[in-house]
Structure formats: C-alpha cells, structure tokens
Amino acid sequence: MSSSRVILQGRGCAPGDFEGEAVVSNQPFGFWQGIDPQTGIVIDKRHDLCGTSLRGKAFVFPFGRGSTGTPGIFLEAVRNGCAPGAIVNVKSEPMIVACALLAEAFFKVSIPIIDGLKGDPQELLRTGDRVRISGTSGIIEVISRV
C-alpha cells in the first residue's frame, strides 16, 4: 500500500461524485449481454472480468461496445442497486454516457463518467485501488494503491 496521491485529469462526461474501489480492465466492454442486472456481476464469458462484481465500483475500461439496447440492461442494474458507481474510459461512446444521464433523470442515481484516460487503463489504475472521482471536473484522485 502506497500513500502517495496520484491525480489523473480526464474529461467529465456525466456529473456526480464517487469515492470507492476501482475495477480495471484493458478490454472493451458491452453491458448488453455483459452483466447480470440482478447482481452486477460480469457474465460475458469472453471478458477477463467474467465473474467479477461491478456493483458500486469505479469501472475502468477502454471503451464500450454496444447494442443500442445498452441502457435497457444498465438501468435495470441501476434500479436493482447493482450498477457501477462510476465509469472511467479512454473514450466514452454516447451509448455509455446516455446510461448515466438516464439513470440521473429517471432514477435519481448519479454515476459520474470520465473519459480521455491516456493509455492502457491497467497501467494507470489497478483493481482494488481506492479512487475519488468528480464527473464535473474530470479529476480522478488515487487515494490509495493496492
């Protein structure tokens, strides 16, 4: 465990504040057929996070893959309290940003989204790192490392 604080600056795509644990992957991710909305656990067998829970985590991955039905599954997870608590991408497609904006509009749940992460997410952040995220300023603060 290291105590030195690291600040990463990205671009805020959806507002909100988050503090908690990160789950990091260098593989693109599609929520549609990608997570079980009843539990928040990754069910895509081709994905390296298969079996991992995203519930209440800062989910860090390069970019979304995705069906236009993506918010269907995502909001079902939000409704069940099983969605990620924040999302950090290299590039956030409108499909992902829409999920957070809809969650806020229809379920009063704010899920900050930041994109513009420079490089391989796994070189910048590790699963288990504790992070503070502001979707308004686009700042990711690493509070403690695993």
Partner 1 sequence: MFLTDEERRILDGAFGEPQRISLQVLVKLGEAYGAERMVQIQSAHLVGSSYQIAGEAGIAIYTRLVEQGARVKVRTTSDPGSIDFARWREFRTPAEYAERQILIAELLDRMGVIPTWTCTPYTIFNVPRFGEDLGWSESSAVVFANSVIGARTNRLAAYVDVCAALVGRVPRFGLHLPEHRRGEVLFELDPDLSTSFEDHDFPVLGYLVGQVTGDRIPVIVGIREATFDQLKAFGAAAAASGSVALYHMVGITPEARTLDEAFGGRAPAERVAVGPREITRTLEQMSTGQGGAVDVVGVGCPHASIDQMRRYASLIHGKRVHAGVELWVCTNAVVEEMARKMGYVETIERAGAKLMVGTCHNDCPLGAWGFRRLVTDSGKFAYYTPTTVGTECVFASTEACIAAAITGQVERR
- So which residues are the catalytic ones? 67
Residue with tokens 């504040």: 17
* Token code pair at residue 93: 């497609």
Question: Phi and psi at residue 34, in whole multiples of 5°?
Answer: -105, -35
Q: Which of residues 109-138 bind partner 1 (CB under 8 A)?
A: none
Residues 34-53, one symbol each (x = binds partner 1 by CB under 8 A, - = not), give ---x----------------
Q: What radius of gyration, in Å, describes the C-alpha atoms of the chain?
A: 14
What contacts 126, CB < 8 A, 6 or more positions away? 22, 24, 145, 146
Q: Which of residues 54-93 bind partner 1 (CB under 8 A)?
A: 65-73, 75-76, 78-79, 92-93
Q: How far is the CB of 79 from partner 1 (least distance, A)?
A: 4
* Token code pair at residue 1: 């465990």
Closest CA to 95 of 14, 9, 8, 10: 14
Q: How far is the CB of 24 from partner 1 (least distance, A)?
A: 22
* Residue 36 DSSP SS3: strand
Among 8, 10, 14, 87, binds partner 1 (CB under 8 A): 14
Piece of the chain touching partner 1 by CB under 8 A; list 51-59, 102-110, 118-126, 137-145: 102-110
Tell me the pairing of strands 86-88 and 113-115.
parallel
Among 6, 41, 101, 139, binds partner 1 (CB under 8 A): 101
Determine if 94 is a binding residue for partner 1 (CB under 8 A): yes
Binding interface with partner 1 (CB under 8 A): 13-14, 33, 37, 65-73, 75-76, 78-79, 92-95, 97-99, 101-102, 105-107
